[in-house]
Homo-oligomer: A and B are copies of this chain.
Amino acid sequence: MVSVAILGGTGYTALELIKILLRHPQARIAALTTRQEGSPLVHAIHQSLYGRLTVKCEDLSPAEVAKRAEVVFCCLPHVASMEAVPTLLAGGAKVIDLSADYRLTDAAVYEKWYGHAHSDAARLKETVYGLPELWAERIPGQRLIANPGCYSSASILGLAPLLKTGWIEPTGIIIDAKSGLSGAGRTPRLGTLFAECNESIGAYSVGNKHRHLPEIEQILSDSCGVAVEAIFTPHLVPMDRGIIATIYARLKKPASDGQLLEVVRQFYAGRPFMRVVEHLPVTKDSANTNYCDITVRQARGQAIIIACLDNLIKGAAGVAVQNFNLMCGFEETDGLQV
């Protein structure tokens, strides 16, 4: 059994992490943190956990957390995360960082998109981006993993097969993505009140203003060896969870639906959480699971790729546990087979 902690235990991703870890055969939750006063029991924050876990959420320093846990899932907001991670690592803990702080390799790009100088820039180049479907072999032995963004995972997993095999052009890509509301976080805001966003869909960060774009382009460029350029438009959909990315990319040469599907299928052969399907997946198919469902069609010289996943699981807590499993030498699927 490995002792684990979650730094920042109050959000939706933390809740999903806790649920997965509760059924994980090798993990024991040793600490949960919050800045709330009074060390509330976890079910005072996540009512659904009543009777399932009796750990308190404490206002612990990163150094204290590192003493209690061998592996720390850092669910803090960006900036807060890079302030905690060096201490966690120095304290001997392994870290899976679910914030954006260690995803970009270039501190200048980070500063441009996040509006804050990076205080731990030296570590950026060496940190592995934890998307096991791209490079599972890089993850064992790491002490810090940058867990991918939810939109990023859907977009990258959708594009990588056809990009890496040279079927599609690396520029002029359109990623039109739609997410459930849990992706907008658990902090009360007008825009995510039920009566505001229910019965409504809207785009936001239109015009390449969303922070997952540089992450998508960097990882695809790195992994595919070409300079990838995309337009990324996210939307909020009135549902709790799920992302669908509808992706348009120009084919370099004519191809049938079947040929393209076969390329994707071979690319993900043996990957336990990738379901390459002939039918059109909907987000409900993969809701509450760690699966990513992908299919592809073509029209007028473009590939149309559909990728669906649960933003809180495959897009956050689930892939974090995949990374945890690979870092610790467990089965990649431990705790993740619902």
Contact = CB atoms under 8 A, between A and B. Distances in A.
A304 interface: yes
Contact of A47 (B182, B235, B248, B285): B285
A139 interface: no
A192 interface: yes
Contact of A237 (B201, B289, B337): B201
A174 to B, nearest CB: 5
Interface stretch (A64-72, A74-82, A295-303, A314-322): A295-303
A70 to B, nearest CB: 24
A242 B199 contact: yes
Interface in A244-277: 244, 246, 248, 257, 275, 277
Contact of A287 (B174, B200, B208, B282): B200
Contact of A195 (B181, B203, B298, B337): B181
A297 B206 contact: yes
B238 A246 contact: no
Nearest to A289: B48
Given A275-B50, A304-B231, A203 B238 contact: no
A125 interface: no
Given A194-B193, A237-B201, A51 B291 contact: yes
Nearest to A51: B275
Interface stretch (A26-34, A97-105, A151-159, A183-191): A183-191
Interface in A278-336: 279-289, 291, 293, 297-300, 302, 304, 306, 308
Going nearest first, the 6 A-B pairs with the smallest beta carbon separation are A202-B282, A200-B284, A207-B297, A188-B188, A208-B299, A176-B176
Interface of A: 12, 19, 23, 47-48, 50-51, 174, 176, 178, 180-182, 184, 186, 188-190, 192-204, 206-208, 229, 231, 233, 235, 237-242, 244, 246, 248, 257, 275, 277, 279-289, 291, 293, 297-300, 302, 304, 306, 308, 337-338
13 contacts: A47-B282, A48-B289, A174-B248, A181-B195, A192-B194, A199-B240, A199-B283, A200-B284, A201-B239, A202-B281, A231-B248, A233-B246, A288-B288
